[in-house]
Amino acid sequence: MELVYYPHEILRQTTQPVDSISSELKDFLKEMVQIMDKNRGVGLAAPQVGNSQRFFVAKLQNEEPLFFINPEVLYTSLEKNIYEEGCLSLPGVWAEVKRPAAITIQALNLKGKVFRLEADGFLARVIQHELDHLNGILFFDHLSEKKRELLLEAYQKVRPSK
């Protein structure tokens, strides 16, 4: 398993729902956690490792990883906030992005059980960033055209060669 980098086309594709939580899928998700940890990420979505299905992992510092399979958004707050975001698919660049401050999400966990999570703060931010990946959206899509151009220019100078 390897990270894929922007502008890899899979990062722009919409993902397909998972139809069964097989042992292969569980192993895949666990391997994603390892890759995320190794690269000091806090979230990683399937397209970022070349898989076009609807799942992602997230892990805050010193906490257990969370697995989100076939996630659905139930609620997003009207209140928004700004956080600096980066992305393992665009290493070396960051930008401040405005998003809803809180979110409620429903998904299947690794055991195939439905769970609901109300998140705010940094976790809400991570979840929204990863959800975007499942719809082919990247964090710089939320920036103004000017800021996006500057970010992509900077990325061209530091992007991984492969």
Residues with a catalytic annotation lie at: 130
Residue 62 φ/ψ region, left for φ over 0, alpha for ψ in the -120 to 50 degree band, beta for the rest? left
Does residue 58 belong to the site contacting Zn ion (CB under 5 A)?
A: no
Whichever of 3 and 87 has its CB closer to Zn ion, that residue is 87
**What b/e string do you get for 39-53 counting C-beta neighbours within 10 Å, with b at 16 or more?**
eebbbbbbbbbebeb
Whichever of 21 and 66 has its CB closer to Zn ion, that residue is 66
Does residue 108 belong to the site contacting Zn ion (CB under 5 A)?
A: no
Cβ–Cβ under 8 Å, residues 106 and 72:
yes
Question: At its nearest, how many Å lie between Zn ion and the CB of residue 23?
Answer: 27
Binding span for Zn ion by CB under 5 A among 6-14, 19-27, 68-76, 85-93: 85-93
Does residue 87 belong to the site contacting Zn ion (CB under 5 A)?
A: yes
Cβ–Cβ under 8 Å, residues 48 and 89:
yes
